[in-house]
Structure 1
Amino acid sequence: MKDSGLFEKLISILKERVAAEEKISDKSTYSKITEQFMRIALRYNSRISDVEGSFEICIKVLIGRLQCLFDTLKRISAQQVDSKKEDEQKKEIQDILSRGTKMILLLLLHSLPSKRDIYLADDVKIQEYIAPLLHINCPQELNCPQRIRIEQTPELIKFHSYVLIYLSRLSIGNKYILPYLNDNHNAVDHLSSLLNHFANQNQKNFQQEELTDKTQQIPVISSVLDLLSRFVIENHEIESTYSNLLPICLDLSKFNRSIHESTYDIDESYIRYYSLWILNCFWANGDFTLKEQLVQQRRYLVTLTQGIGLAGGSLEKSDVVVKISLKNIGSVFMHLRIVQGTNVTLLREVEEQMREMGYGEELEAVSFQKKPENLLNDWNLYT
């Protein structure tokens, strides 16, 4: 069914509202209704280029919102807490984060390679308006001059998580994004510091009935690992430059809360998934010394086996951790038997670790899962 000029009318109204609001305000921000019109217009993915000026007017409103978001957060970050205006300030932050989250979700819909007809990064370098948000509550030990200090709330955690996911997705197929983030915002330093800060928390925090602040950080940490994995894929030197990442990822690959709130189950599984993904990159690109360290000192196969056990016992709604664990085990055997020739010493160590952890039982349990795809493909190729 044709829209009978509905899209053209929508763009016409949007242009009129933008022009009217610009006359009464010298700021490049627009009303909630105008932003809503913009979001609706961008969702017409196949029509956005049909009407002259439609893309430009949408981007104008979008950038206005992002600039307002960043300016507001920076202003609040620099302010002293005023008890008399505390409620008013919290309401302002909640509103700005709610509107910002909607914008980031909209960008996520239109920034993937499959949506290249309006691939925003190529047209307006939208990441330059998002990248400064990497500095939200970055660790104080970095002494970062761009730090944005905002009280941690569920709204902020959700927004921060989506920002990181967006930057990660934006980097797919775009070689400009990751160098920009690292050169201008020290992204890897910030991401690794956030991971280190999280991993160093006393594990007793995760045994308490009441969710702690660190437990609430799980969605952000999952997104941190997501974005960091993109850097690791592109830069094989990260492991040697950031030596703390190896033990952190080994630790987080086994991250498991004793009390499972359904709100965090999926994010928890992705903490383990991306940790294992990064470890696989380290293994694949590392030299023999690193592989020897992983097997003999870090007991890498024990870690991978535990990944399968944890995935099977936490009521996760996906098999991502099982799959990546099996993939990593297959990669270990491929390198030890094929790529580097038969390495008897490390092979013997690997087999001993597998027997020690009862991997045969874990593998048998996985084989009974009735799934449309064969989870054992990666394993069967190399064993």
Structure 2
Amino acid sequence: MPSTFGSNTFGGIFGIQKKDPNNDWMTRISDQIMKIMKERICPLIHLNCHPDLNCQQCINVPQSPAILELKSAVFKALFDASYNNEFKNMLVKDNNIIPHLTHPLIQFASYSQLDKKSDSQEQHNQQKSESTSSLSLITQSIDLLDRLISYNNICKVVINTPNALHSLSTLTCYKINIHFSQENDQLSFKIRNSSRWCLQQIHQFGETSAQSELINARYVGVLVITISTASGSGEEQDLEISNGLDFISDFLSNLNKGRSDYEPSFPPQPLLARRSDEQIEEEGGNEEIESQLIKKGDQYYYIKSQANRAKGAILNYFIEQDNRKPDCDSLFHLPSSTVYGVAIGKEKDKKTLKIWP
């Protein structure tokens, strides 16, 4: 019998919200909805918890694709509700949510590494055996983890969880350029995409120690793989390539110049910057970035502009722009020739200042 569970199972719950009088742009979940979430949905976090977690709230039921889909829908519902700090606090303190998210993805990443060592026929059999429900559950777990990282000290908790960052780094390349079916390919892409954004959040909300741990997990190296279209091993979507270049330039710029515009701030980290440069060289990143500079058809995602920024960050350049970068959303409504002209114009307006050879 087909499962009736889906990603929208609990979606209607979150339509009932009221404005927070203390904050115009945030909403506060009503007491009634909070009660429903706490009493009916949060307990489902603990369906078939792994024995290693020693979870006292565990609910043991026979495992099935329907149960995996239910749990995936639960995590999606929690993700939708987690803009609210009161709700985040309940997830963290009352449900010990973080290990329930990190443990499955660590296991999944470990299995995916074993798959790489098997021959192509074994990989094919393994791919067929991976249910769409299990892949969806991993994606929803990473998305919820991403949403919680900015709260309180969750970033530190994730960093201090053994193998968590290395597993996320591994999953940024999960099944990349391995194609079996359209559905599986889309789910694999979502896992890679969610993992990259989760690591980027750790960079954004992490202190100096977080940046060091990201380098230990080869964060910059796997970002280079994302943009590696020249070698044929990277993502095919322009948006992913643009984001990868943006993440590289942002990370290296923060290491080279320090971060003082928002908290947590930290001073320049030249040793970490050097280690990042080494990872880029090992993965052939300089050549890959150069290849993006000559890429054609860059109408919407500023790939050439992002490649220039990444190149400048690698060389420790300060790049100044005379004009503010156009709003990407507004450019979607312009003719492609107009958008392309703006992008090219921005390239010509750039000035660079080399500060070390």
Same fold, TM exceeding 0.5?
A: yes
Q: Which residue in 2 is equivalent to 1:219?
A: 136
Q: One-letter code of the match for 1:142? A: L
Asked if residue 141 in structure 1 is aligned to residue 67 in structure 2, the reply is no
Q: Within 5 Å, give how 1:160-171 maps onto structure 2.
A: 160-171=71-82
* 2: CA distance, partners of 1:99 / 1:216: 10
Which residue, 202, 206, 215 being the options, matches 1:282?
Answer: 202
Which residue, 321, 334, 358 being the options, matches 2:284?
Answer: 358
Greater Cα radius of gyration, structure 1 or 2: 1
Query: Does the 8 Å contact 2:79/2:144 carry over to 1?
Result: yes
Shift in alpha-carbon separation, 1:290–1:118, aligned structure 2, 3 A: closer
Gaps of 5+ in 1: 1-90
Q: Which residue in 1 is equivalent to 2:296?
A: 368
Asked if residue 124 in structure 1 is aligned to residue 36 in structure 2, the reply is no
* 2: CA distance, partners of 1:281 / 1:117: 20
Q: Within 5 Å, give how 1:105-120 maps onto structure 2.
A: 105-107=11-13
Q: One-letter code of the match for 1:303? A: V
Q: After alignment, is 267-276 or 188-197 more displaced?
A: 267-276
What is the deviation of 1:180?
Answer: 0.6
Shift in alpha-carbon separation, 1:184–1:264, aligned structure 2, 3 A: same
Asked if residue 236 in structure 1 is aligned to residue 236 in structure 2, the reply is no
Query: Does the 8 Å contact 1:302/1:353 carry over to 2?
Result: yes
Aligned to 2:142, the other structure's residue is in SS state helix
Aligned to 2:228, the other structure's residue is in SS state helix
What is the deviation of 1:365?
Answer: 4.1
* 1: CA distance, partners of 2:285 / 2:5: 48
What is the deviation of 1:348?
Answer: 3.8
Shift in alpha-carbon separation, 1:118–1:329, aligned structure 2, 3 A: closer
Aligned to 2:60, the other structure's residue is in SS state coil
Deviations 1:147-205 (Å, cap 9, x if unpaired)?
23344444333332222112112112x11111111222111121111112212223258
Q: Which residue in 2 is equivalent to 1:207?
A: 123
* 2: CA distance, partners of 1:120 / 1:343: 41
Q: One-letter code of the match for 2:169? A: L
Q: Within 5 Å, give how 1:11-90 maps onto structure 2.
A: none
Query: Does the 8 Å contact 2:292/2:307 carry over to 1?
Result: no
* 1: CA distance, partners of 2:18 / 2:280: 39
Aligned to 1:236, the other structure's residue is in SS state helix
Shift in alpha-carbon separation, 1:253–1:100, aligned structure 2, 3 A: closer
* 2: CA distance, partners of 1:110 / 1:145: 32
Query: Does the 8 Å contact 1:265/1:316 carry over to 2?
Result: no
Q: Which residue in 1 is equivalent to 2:335?
A: none
Q: One-letter code of the match for 2:252? A: F
What is the deviation of 1:381?
Answer: 4.5
* Higher helix proportion (structure 1 or 2): 1
Q: Which residue in 1 is equivalent to 2:4?
A: 98
Query: Does the 8 Å contact 1:111/1:169 carry over to 2?
Result: no
Q: Which residue in 2 is equivalent to 1:299?
A: 218
Q: How many residues align?
A: 285
* 2: CA distance, partners of 1:98 / 1:256: 28
Q: One-letter code of the match for 2:185? A: D
* Higher strand proportion (structure 1 or 2): 2
* 1: CA distance, partners of 2:147 / 2:214: 22
Q: One-letter code of the match for 1:127? A: M
Query: Does the 8 Å contact 2:229/2:288 carry over to 1?
Result: no
Q: Which residue in 1 is equivalent to 2:326?
A: none
Deviations 1:3-61 (Å, cap 9, x if unpaired)?
xxxxxxxxxxxxxxxxxxxxxxxxxxxxxxxxxxxxxxxxxxxxxxxxxxxxxxxxxxx
Aligned to 2:104, the other structure's residue is in SS state helix
What is the deviation of 1:213?
Answer: 4.0
Q: Within 5 Å, give how 1:331-342 maps onto structure 2.
A: 331-339=250-258
What is the deviation of 1:319?
Answer: 4.9
Query: Does the 8 Å contact 1:110/1:119 carry over to 2?
Result: no
* 1: CA distance, partners of 2:206 / 2:238: 27
Kindly report the root-mean-square deviation, in angstroms, between the aligned alpha carbons of the 2 structures. Answer: 3.7
Q: One-letter code of the match for 1:192? A: T
Aligned to 2:173, the other structure's residue is in SS state coil
Which residue, 253, 256, 263 being the options, matches 2:183?
Answer: 263
TM, length-normalised to structure 2: 0.66
Q: Which residue in 1 is equivalent to 2:91?
A: 181
* 2: CA distance, partners of 1:112 / 1:263: 37
What is the deviation of 1:314?
Answer: 8.6
